[in-house]
Amino acid sequence: MVSEFKDKYQLVIIGAGPAGLGAALAAEERGVKDILLLERDYFLGGILPQCIHNGFGLDYFGEELTGPEYAHRFIDRIPESTVQVMDETMVLDITPDKEITALNRHQGVQKIEAKAVLLAMGCRERTREAIKIPGDRTAGVLTAGTAQRYINIEGYLPGRKVIVLGSGDIGLIMARRMTLEGAEVDSVLEIMPYSSGLVRNKVQCLDDFDIPLKLNHTLTRIEGDKRVERVVVSRVNDDLEPVPGSEQTVECDTVLLAVGLIPENELTKQMGIELDPVTGGAVVNEQRETEINGVFACGNVLQVHDLVDYVTEESEIAARAVSEYLSRRRKKRRKKIKLTAGEQITYVVPHRIDYVYQDKDKKTLKLFLRSSVPVEEAELKVVDDRGQELISSRKKIVTPGEMETIILPLQFLDEDIEELTVSVTKASQGAD
């Protein structure tokens, strides 16, 4: 088969969603030649093209865009760039030596060698099974993202009377979308005592449409013969266990599940790369580089982000790192620094700091983290292994639903530090 494609590239990026697109363009800007972008779908942009609501880009572009608009800010630049795109291509395997086996209609099964690999496969939705909802296995149970694709890409309504489980942003957005398309949304259930979605989404998607949000509630049974006919909704106690006697039956024909996202790291696992059990993404250093030299990861495959804007930001971090790796400009620290999730923190990305930087007085490192519980009047702190507080910042509230960041000036990192612990606590009294 004759092909415009080569069998060797400086950089091969797996996935042309926002992370892959952003990284490809940013890497090119930083002088990386020879970039191949592999995409399994027939369109670019990942999940963005089906996210036709607005609210994207406020942070990165300073204006409010829809998902397709946000994606096209990048897609439209691809033809003028040197980045080559191979779409409808599934990566089946990557070896630790960075040999990629990919498959598509036109080139068939092919091997591609890369100097650097950037993993940008994104994430998938958790299913009914991930949360083990008992009952019948009928039609009409689908994830919110699948419903979104049916409506926004295919043009079909998958249900008429709907209950939504999960009040993360996807659940909220889809409750509104189903309503706008003519379905009746009974309610949105949330097992936690708080919504994990953005406040603006709760207001704009539920309150404005009079859709009830039932906190501390979950689905305990799905019933129906061929299709969903009714579900049982129960209140949960503090241990998130259903309270006997609180069951209510709701007649509906569709259950939308918005119960979380899982980074799609099957290829990463195949390569033998260690994953963080909390994020579900690879363990990386500050360059977003995995344990394997020259294999990087960014976007939702690394950690599920709240906003696509943060994905873009991370794609630029990774792109810069790739260019530094390819031009061999990096210098290792004498001692690696391990970053530890301390009190009330579930995870911190990056997991370690491996390199030293020139003009470090001017440079900073952004740490991404999530708290394990909501904390009001919170103090975020980074402490080194000698017990010395390097930096702290205050926030009115931090919640598990919103990713937090701490900007760490690199000049604080002297060469003897081996561990940093990040924590969030209630700010001590009188600090106001």
Partner 1 sequence: MKADIVIIGGGVTGTAVARKLTEYELDIILVEKEADLASGTSKANSGIVHAGYNADPETMKGQLNIQANPLFDKLCSDLNVPFQRTGSLVVGFNQQDLETIKQKKENGDKIGIPGLEIIGRRRLQKIEPHINDRARWALYAPSAGIVSPHELTIALGENAAQNGLQVMLENKVEDIETEKGALKAVVTNRERIECDVVINAAGVYADSIARMAGDEMVIRPRKGEYFIFDREYGDLINHVLFPTPTETSKGILVTATAHGNLLVGPNAYPAGKEDLATTSGGLVEIMKGAVKLIPDLPRGGVISSFAGLRAAAPSEDFIISPSPSVWGFIHAAGIQSPGLTAAPATAERVEQLVKGYYPSERLVKKDDFQETLPEKPHLYDYDEGDLEDWNEYIDRREDYGEVVCRCEHVTRGEIIDALHSPVPAQTLDAIKRRARAGMGRCQGGFCGPRVVEIIAEELGISPREVTKKGPGSEILQEKTKDLRLKKKTADKENRDNQRQEGKYKDPAQDAAKNAEQDAEQATEQAAEQDTEPKTEKQLQQVKIESGGADGE
Whichever of 243 and 397 has its CB closer to partner 1, that residue is 243
SS3 state of residue 302: coil
C-beta separation of 136 from 225 below 8 A: yes
Among 39, 125, 309, 314, binds partner 1 (CB under 8 A): 125
Binding mask 165-204 for partner 1 (x = CB under 8 A): ----------------xx----------------------
Asked if 221 is part of the footprint of partner 1 (rule: CB under 8 A), the reply reads: yes
Asked if 43 is part of the footprint of partner 1 (rule: CB under 8 A), the reply reads: yes
Please report where in the chains the tokens 């992370």 appear, as a residue. Answer: 19
Identify which of 342, 347, 328, 362 has the alpha carbon closest to the alpha carbon of residue 284.
347
Among 7, 63, 96, 109, binds partner 1 (CB under 8 A): 109
Total binding residues toward partner 1, as defined by CB under 8 A: 56
Among 6, 8, 33, 106, binds partner 1 (CB under 8 A): 106
Min separation Cβ 134 and partner 1, Å: 4
Asked if 136 is part of the footprint of partner 1 (rule: CB under 8 A), the reply reads: yes
Whichever of 134 and 293 has its CB closer to partner 1, that residue is 134
Q: Provide the token pair at 74.
A: 């990048």
Asked if 7 is part of the footprint of partner 1 (rule: CB under 8 A), the reply reads: no
User: Which residues are 364's β-sheet partners?
Assistant: 409
Site for partner 1 in 73-92 (CB under 8 A): 88, 90, 92
Stretch that binds partner 1, among 69-77, 131-139, 201-209, 298-306 (CB under 8 A): 131-139
Give the type of residue at 122: G
Among 15, 73, 118, 143, binds partner 1 (CB under 8 A): 143
Min separation Cβ 125 and partner 1, Å: 5
Whichever of 177 and 202 has its CB closer to partner 1, that residue is 177
Q: Provide the token pair at 232.
A: 């049982």
Identify which of 159, 324, 315 has the alpha carbon closest to the alpha carbon of residue 227.
159
Instruction: Count Cα atoms within 13 angstroms, Cβ side, for 388.
Output: 9
Asked if 6 is part of the footprint of partner 1 (rule: CB under 8 A), the reply reads: no
Asked if 155 is part of the footprint of partner 1 (rule: CB under 8 A), the reply reads: yes
C-beta separation of 151 from 187 below 8 A: no
Please report where in the chains the tokens 């911190």 appear, as a residue. Answer: 348
Site for partner 1 in 242-271 (CB under 8 A): 242, 253, 266, 269
Asked if 103 is part of the footprint of partner 1 (rule: CB under 8 A), the reply reads: yes
**Rounded Cα–Cα distance for residues 20 and 296 (Å):** 11
Angle between helices 18-29 and 308-326 (to 10 degrees): 40
User: Which residues are 190's β-sheet partners?
Assistant: 215
Asked if 101 is part of the footprint of partner 1 (rule: CB under 8 A), the reply reads: yes
Identify which of 154, 201, 199, 202 has the alpha carbon closest to the alpha carbon of residue 181.
154
Write down how long the chain is. 432
What are the strands of the beta sheet with 389-398, ordered from one edge?
Answer: 352-356, 331-341, 419-426, 375-384, 389-398
Identify which of 421, 392, 423, 397 has the alpha carbon closest to the alpha carbon of residue 408.
392
Whichever of 18 and 260 has its CB closer to partner 1, that residue is 260
Whichever of 149 and 330 has its CB closer to partner 1, that residue is 149
Site for partner 1 in 270-329 (CB under 8 A): none
SS3 state of residue 147: helix
Whichever of 300 and 423 has its CB closer to partner 1, that residue is 300
Among 220, 279, 290, 312, binds partner 1 (CB under 8 A): 220
User: Which residues are 111's β-sheet partners?
Assistant: 101
Binding mask 365-384 for partner 1 (x = CB under 8 A): --------------------
Residues in Cβ contact with 8 at an 8 Å cutoff, skipping those fewer than 6 apart? 112, 113, 114
**Contact residues for partner 1 (CB under 8 A)?**
40, 42-43, 88, 90, 92-93, 101, 103-109, 111, 124-125, 127-130, 132, 134-139, 142-143, 145-146, 149-151, 153-160, 181-182, 220-221, 223, 225-227, 242, 253, 266, 269
